[in-house]
Amino acid sequence: MTTSPRPFAAAAPAAGSRILGTGHHRPERVMTNADLEQLVETSDEWIRQRTGIEERRIAADGVDVGDLAAIAGHHALADAGVDASEVTQVIVATCTNQERSPSAAGRVAQQLGIPAPAAFDVGAACSGFEHALAVADMSIRSGASTTTLVIGAEKLSAVTDYTDRTTCILTADGAGAMVLRAADEPGIAPVVWGTVPELADAVTINGEQPAFAQQGRQVLGWALREAPVISQRIVDAAGLTMEDIDVFVPHQANLRMIEPLAAALGLREDAIVADDIITSGNTSAATIPLAISRLREAGRIPAGATALLVGFGGGFSWAGQVVRLP
């Protein structure tokens, strides 16, 4: 004789989550285009014309991804007015954590004194932060977390070949963070995400001495052709139109990619398009939260602005969502 199984208890769900605060960290060392001229055959003019980058930040020896992430997380908690003891989940998006274990998120919890959170990393390279943000939002909606610290952090200098002028001019180090909390009204729209399997090897970090490599023309071609379509899908998923977007924050891969992408979307004339890559370089999973935090710090984003986030790159993965900024 069989009996019906007893139903599982369910966590109390939330209507949604909202962003309470943001923070970022850029290492002190500045590497200019002139500095790169001393390392590889290139020039300031060549770099600016092809990437828009003028300088980038490089972390010191002995500073790892967890260190960068923890500083950005500390600033985000301060901006949100949230104590570390209130955090129930830490997620770090990264593809350059030097340790296999513990996770960078575990190091963040350790350094910030966060007591017993769920802590794990998300490895989706340049779209990693958008993946992590979606997981954090879903965790809060399901009742699995109440307050989540989400961070994108990279030390790409550790995997950069400074004899390859096509890649070393791009890469940099840094971190950006957001604090999410349960809310009665959703502040993060549904994620739209996916992969492009045939481009899996277009952006890689591999080898015995791991080095960043990419097929730049393939990535650029995909971004110009497909990213506008994906961006529209993301806005549609939020139930909005491009007219509703106040801030457009794509992955800061290359300014010469960002400019035509923004033009293709038909954004309002007064919409802000993030261009943090000019002085921060390409920091992979950190680019989007880093750009948002710096825009807010500079007072360039109005309170409660609606932002479109779109990340794409290694894997070849892509993801994005529309969010309400603090």
| Active site (catalytic) residues | 126, 251, 282
How many CA atoms within 13 Å lie on the side-chain side of 47? 27
The answer to whether the CB of 24 falls within 8 A of the CB of 175 is yes
Alpha-carbon 14 to chain mean position: 24
Q: Tell me the C-alpha distance between 161 and 158, whole Å.
A: 9
> How many angstroms separate the first and last alpha carbons of the chain?
57
Q: Tell me the C-alpha distance between 318 and 261, whole Å.
A: 15
The four Cα atoms 245, 249, 251, 254 give a dihedral, to 10 degrees, of 110
What are the φ and ψ backbone dihedral angles of 272, each rounded to 5 degrees?
-90, 130
The answer to whether the CB of 185 falls within 8 A of the CB of 15 is yes
Q: Tell me the C-alpha distance between 204 and 213, whole Å.
A: 5
Q: Tell me the C-alpha distance between 313 and 196, whole Å.
A: 10
Q: Would you say the C-alpha torsion 280, 286, 291, 294 has a positive or negative sign?
A: negative
Length of the chain counted residue by residue: 326
Q: Tell me the C-alpha distance between 202 and 204, whole Å.
A: 7
Closest to 220 (Cα-Cα) out of 166, 279, 144: 166
DSSP-derived 3-state class of residue 272:
strand
What is the DSSP code (8-state) at residue 45?
H
Closest to 311 (Cα-Cα) out of 150, 159, 187: 150
The type of residue at 138 is: M
